Structure 1
């Protein structure tokens, strides 16, 4: 899309955005306002951030965000848009959880904007060690400003009945190589050959969805494996309460929010030691499920499933203990209190 067309599209969106914006009630009586941002295909991260900055300003009617404290989710594009549109006296905080920061920093303009962002924000939080490591390597002069804080997870929705057997597998995530989805299908085929009652639901979109669908058909597993594509988050949480086992064979995770959500929903987990999960589940690995090494094969997953199923059948797990520990660290109340103490350090 050429510059003239892009400007025309942004101008049109600016006129319509007040009609398109819609509010969704959230916790504590607050409203979350959604509004559309037009983004040219293939736009680099730096240009995308300036794009969000301009379109947020248009949505605000060229007025600053009317708040003493502003929190942004991820540094680019949201954090940049926030610092550029905040009141001069406002405190701006940013939480970063993106697992693809190294790709972001391949764009020189993005590096420049992120550097300025870190200099200007009041507080900056990373959700895991991997995010902190990437940021510290890229911006060593800002290392002292990068703090740790987790993503919040809801622990208040129970499943209709506890898991009694690990037959219904569930995967939630992108259909990309980084998530180990190819190996997951092959591992499921091995386990399904031993127990034809097993099923697998793989939720998500990505370039591997069509090839995986073809591979499932080739293996004769179309009746046992469902690939519904992308679904709303609330529907994903419902699936967690309906399935027996969350299988997450990712090659790399900064935190592993889906894993904590699965345990919160009462599911055992079979997950790789891919960065975040082994830290998130420290001390409750056996209570929550089974952790396996990152290996480029299907057997590591299928062998892990057999071990977990053997333990589950003989003595069960201790999901209640796992839930209690995780809620104390990652529940909404715990994370909200952590944010509040940082946002308002002088409050009682």
Structure 2
């Protein structure tokens, strides 16, 4: 869009803010507010960040965010918008998890904004080694400022009944080459030929969805493979509790949140060592499932499934132990405590707070 059109759209969007802003209560008395940001098609990351900064200021009526601590999800555009709209005395934290940072930094303005962001924030948190590696390579002068923190995962809702056989496969993610979904379909066809009771649900959108749908038809697997497209997160969690095995043959992951969610839902996992998962599952690989090397063929996936199924049938997996270990690392309470200690370093720890409450009850 040209500049006058963009300005007109933003003005109209600002007029609609009053009816679009809805406050939703969440945990701890906090409120969640969604507000729409009009974004011109094809806008570069730097301009998009300036855009979010400006429209957040409009939503706030020109006043700063009234909070002593501000936390933003991803550096651009959210982190920049939060930083520019925070109070002068606010402590601003940013958590970065984006797997496409190299693409972001191809935009010179975005790279400049990110450099300033890293310099100005109180704390900067990366969710995995891959994110840290990219940022340290791009901004070596800020390397010591980059801390590590995981994404939080809920372990509170168990599946209705435990997995009894690894028949129902599930993939959740983008339909792109990077995720290895072509090899997944071919591997499933090989395993389905050996066991026709197997099914596969491929959830997600992307440029490969149509070619994969056509390939499924070519393989004669229409009755065994579903491609429902993109679905809400809550529905995806329901699918995890209904399926038997999460298969995720990605070529690259910064963390692998879906993998942890799958184990939290009581599913074994068949995943690649693609950066994040081998760190996420460190020490519990055999208890949680099977890890594969990243290879450009279907056989390494189908062979991995055969090994995993044999181990599952022999009872050598220990999902309860895997869940316990992951909850201690990535559960909401664990991650919340890490954030709390960063945000309020002079406040008592969780153990100290528990001890104070116990003392008050005596």
Fold match (TM-score > 0.5): yes
- Aligned mates of 1:80, 1:176 — CA distance in 2: 29
Gaps in structure 1 of 5+ consecutive residues: none
1:137-171 CA distance string (max 9 Å, x none): 10011111100011000000000000000000000
- Aligned mates of 2:36, 2:232 — CA distance in 1: 17
- Aligned mates of 1:40, 1:234 — CA distance in 2: 29
- In the alignment, which residue of structure 1 is the partner of 2:21? 21
Greater shift, 272-281 or 26-35, is seen at 26-35
CA RMSD of aligned residues (A): 0.7
With structure 2 as the length reference, what TM-score do the two structures score? 0.95
In structure 2, the residue corresponding to 1:271 is in which secondary structure? Answer: strand
CA positional deviation for 1:7: 1.1
- In the alignment, which residue of structure 2 is the partner of 1:7? 7
1:47 and 2:40 aligned: no
In structure 1, the residue corresponding to 2:169 is in which secondary structure? Answer: strand
- In the alignment, which residue of structure 1 is the partner of 2:238? 238
- In the alignment, which residue of structure 1 is the partner of 2:353? none
- In the alignment, which residue of structure 2 is the partner of 1:67? 67
CA positional deviation for 1:76: 0.2
- Aligned mates of 1:283, 1:184 — CA distance in 2: 26
1:286-344 CA distance string (max 9 Å, x none): 10000000000011111000000011011241000000000001000000000000100
1:138 and 2:132 aligned: no
CA positional deviation for 1:3: 1.4
User: 5 Å matches for 1:120-199?
Assistant: 120-199=120-199
- Aligned mates of 1:31, 1:307 — CA distance in 2: 47
- Aligned mates of 1:70, 1:182 — CA distance in 2: 41
CA positional deviation for 1:24: 2.7
In structure 2, the residue corresponding to 1:119 is in which secondary structure? Answer: helix
Greater shift, 36-45 or 325-334, is seen at 36-45
- In the alignment, which residue of structure 1 is the partner of 2:337? 337
With structure 1 as the length reference, what TM-score do the two structures score? 0.99
1:268 and 2:263 aligned: no
- In the alignment, which residue of structure 2 is the partner of 1:117? 117
- Aligned mates of 1:31, 1:237 — CA distance in 2: 23
- In the alignment, which residue of structure 2 is the partner of 1:319? 319
- Aligned mates of 2:270, 2:182 — CA distance in 1: 16
- In the alignment, which residue of structure 1 is the partner of 2:280? 280
- In the alignment, which residue of structure 1 is the partner of 2:104? 104
CA positional deviation for 1:23: 2.5
User: 5 Å matches for 1:75-94?
Assistant: 75-94=75-94
- In the alignment, which residue of structure 2 is the partner of 1:57? 57
CA positional deviation for 1:49: 0.5
Gaps in structure 2 of 5+ consecutive residues: 349-362
In structure 2, the residue corresponding to 1:93 is in which secondary structure? Answer: strand
